[in-house]
């Protein structure tokens, strides 16, 4: 199957940052929800965990949502937990039944989405819509970057400037294995990088991600010259000392910074390896991937962005 004309992840990051320089992002006030039940599927789960990591919250995925609703039914009944926050870029698939289940349990539902006209948006009590770009299926760069920028109240310009000033070792693209180490405050970003490994490389390349705290727990028993260990901060202990890359975040760096910079680096890795993603994504979307969702239709290989795209200034 011939390669599709799809951006690499690093290009999608740069396009998203440019997009958010020109398009207004609605502010996401997390304090409105003092103790929510946050649910999302795939990377939406990790994004939700990252968003609400500094406040009281309970987290669930599509796999355990029903169990979590049952486990905390007393707290829901007495309104200690009053809101169910569903994160879904498309507002389709699992988010629809999750909103219905949250309603049945007695929760007021809040949908964080990029699709104002979606099935989930039609039944949620509150809908907050965030702009996004047209991007390859699974990427969701602008999707989650927009959420983080909205919650952190940060500007895309500074992140873009940092990325464009990056100086990487000449052999950066030659490694068969990479690990990312993130500050503990950004621990929830690490699983988002692990998912990118599955989406872009599958079993064909080693890409791991941990917080500094997690890294202490035998994650680097085996040191190898074949693995580049990329840390956001000083790294005195993990990986072969000759094969470490330290990137020092600016003082005002946020989760949006961590996501954008790490995704950009993963995109550079993607560009340097065989084209696993483009060789498989069309068949995944049109043949075997969508069939795991009962009643679903084939997925678009390019997921449409907001109607505004670059028009709103």
Same structural domain, 147 and 28? yes
Enclosing H/E stretch for 210: strand 206-211
Same structural domain, 135 and 249? no
- Domain membership flag for residue 250: yes
Same structural domain, 110 and 15? yes
Q: What integer pLDDT is reported at residue 310 of this predicted model?
A: 38
Q: What integer pLDDT is reported at residue 4 of this predicted model?
A: 53
- Domain membership flag for residue 32: yes
Cβ atoms < 10 Å from Cβ of 281: 24
CATH of the domain at 186: 3.40.50.10490
Same structural domain, 51 and 176? no
Same structural domain, 89 and 204? no
Residue 22 to residues 15, 16, 86, 135, Cα–Cα distance (Å): 11, 10, 27, 17
SS3 216: coil
Cβ atoms < 10 Å from Cβ of 288: 10
Helices 141-152 + 255-272 axis angle, to 10: 160
- Domain membership flag for residue 180: yes
Q: What integer pLDDT is reported at residue 87 of this predicted model?
A: 96
For 150, the token pair is 């909205």
Q: What integer pLDDT is reported at residue 312 of this predicted model?
A: 34
Same structural domain, 112 and 201? no
Of 152, 254, 144, 273, give the one whose Cα is nearest residue 206: 273
Same structural domain, 25 and 120? yes
Contact 86, 120 (CB under 8 A): yes
SS3 294: coil
Of 80, 88, 78, give the one whose Cα is nearest residue 44: 88
- Domain membership flag for residue 311: no
Domain count for the chain, please give it: 2
Residues of the chain with confidence (pLDDT) below 50: 1-3, 309-313
Same structural domain, 147 and 289? yes
Same structural domain, 18 and 134? yes
Distance between CA 49 and CA 53 in Å, rounded? Answer: 6
Structural domain harbouring 176: 157-272
Same structural domain, 122 and 40? yes
- Domain membership flag for residue 23: yes
- Domain membership flag for residue 101: yes
Same structural domain, 33 and 72? yes
SS3 182: strand
- Domain membership flag for residue 30: yes
What are the tens digits of pLDDT across the range 63-72? Answer: 999 999 999 9
- Domain membership flag for residue 15: yes
Beta bridge partners of 127: 111
Q: What integer pLDDT is reported at residue 139 of this predicted model?
A: 95
Same structural domain, 14 and 144? yes
């Amino acid at each position: 199957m011939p390669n599709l004309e799809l951006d690499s992840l690093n290009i999608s990051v740069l396009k998203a940052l440019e997009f958010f320089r020109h398009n207004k992002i609605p502010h996401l006030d997390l304090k409105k929800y003092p103790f929510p039940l946050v649910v999302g599927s795939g990377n939406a789960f990790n994004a939700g965990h990252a968003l609400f990591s500094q406040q009281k919250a309970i987290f669930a995925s599509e796999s355990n949502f029903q169990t979590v609703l049952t486990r905390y039914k007393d707290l829901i009944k007495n309104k200690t937990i009053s809101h169910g926050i569903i994160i879904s870029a498309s507002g389709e698939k699992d988010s629809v039944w999750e909103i219905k289940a949250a309603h049945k349990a007695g929760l007021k539902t809040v949908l964080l989405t990029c699709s104002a006209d979606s099935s989930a948006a039609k039944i949620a009590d509150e809908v907050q819509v965030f702009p996004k770009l047209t991007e390859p299926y699974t990427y969701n760069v602008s999707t989650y970057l927009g959420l983080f920028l909205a919650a952190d109240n940060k500007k895309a310009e500074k992140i873009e400037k940092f990325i464009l000033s990056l100086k990487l070792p000449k052999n950066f693209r030659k490694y068969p294995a990479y690990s990312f180490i993130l500050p503990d405050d950004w621990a929830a970003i690490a699983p988002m990088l692990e998912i990118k490994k599955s989406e872009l490389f599958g079993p064909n390349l080693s890409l791991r991600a941990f917080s500094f705290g997690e890294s202490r727990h035998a994650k680097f028993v085996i040191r190898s010259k074949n693995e580049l260990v990329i840390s956001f901060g000083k790294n005195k202990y993990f990986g072969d000392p000759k094969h470490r890359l330290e990137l020092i975040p600016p003082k005002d760096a946020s989760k949006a910074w961590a996501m954008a910079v790490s995704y950009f680096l993963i995109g550079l890795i993607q560009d340097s390896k065989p084209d696993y993603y483009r060789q498989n994504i069309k068949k995944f979307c049109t043949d075997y991937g969508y069939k795991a969702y009962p009643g679903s239709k084939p997925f678009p290989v390019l997921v449409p962005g907001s109607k505004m795209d670059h028009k709103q200034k």
